[in-house]
Amino acid sequence: MLRSLRLFALFFLAWFFLHCLWVVKDGMHGFTGQADVAIVLGSTVFSDGSLSPWMKGRVDAALQLYRNHQVKKIFVSGGIGTSDYPEGDGMHHYLLEQGVPDSAIVVDNYGNNSYLTAKNFLSWNQTAQYQSAVVVTSFYHVTRCKYIMRKLGFPAEGGASSEYRAVKDWWGLTREFPAFYKYMLVY
């Protein structure tokens, strides 16, 4: 019995390690192609509307894609976090301050999780009819977001990640392991 338990633990740790390795490689790969839309997933916006460093990093990555003419539109999506300030509105205001025209930004304040962001994008895109998108989030979140988009029937061309790194990224990476498989089974 103890031997079986050890083998199971070893298998589980190997699976966890390989999954995390795959997520890091995929999330830090970078996006070098073209897509119609950058989909930016939300994170913390402070009560004054300013972006947390990890959120600003995501929006800056999308801004770089826009300035490099790799995307035509930026779809900013998030919920209303603990500060009661809508994440989509915070990203929208920041992009306007950076010189992005309002016509190039789409705001979704109902993307309370990755799945809802994907669903809301697809609903909006029924009218817009864009053919390709790149997800923009933290490196550890890219793989799951691309998976969700593809599972819902839309080709995510790739992912771009924030260049901002913090100690909390290790928690995010660890959390992605069960979250990825939850999304495989539940959604």
Query: Three-state SS across 49-61?
Result: CCECHHHHHHHHH
Q: Is pLDDT of 81 > 80?
A: no
Query: pTM higher than 0.75, yes or no?
Result: yes
Percent of the chain past pLDDT 90, that is, above it, reads 81
What are 103-143's pLDDT values in tens digits? Answer: 999 999 999 999 999 999 999 999 999 999 999 999 999 99
- Cross-sheet strand order for the sheet of 37-41: 105-108, 73-77, 37-41, 133-137, 156-161
Query: Average pLDDT over the chain, rounded to whole?
Result: 93
Q: Give CATH for domain 2-186.
A: 3.40.50.620
The whole-number average pLDDT for the span 171-184 is 92
Q: Is the pLDDT of residue 63 over 90?
A: yes
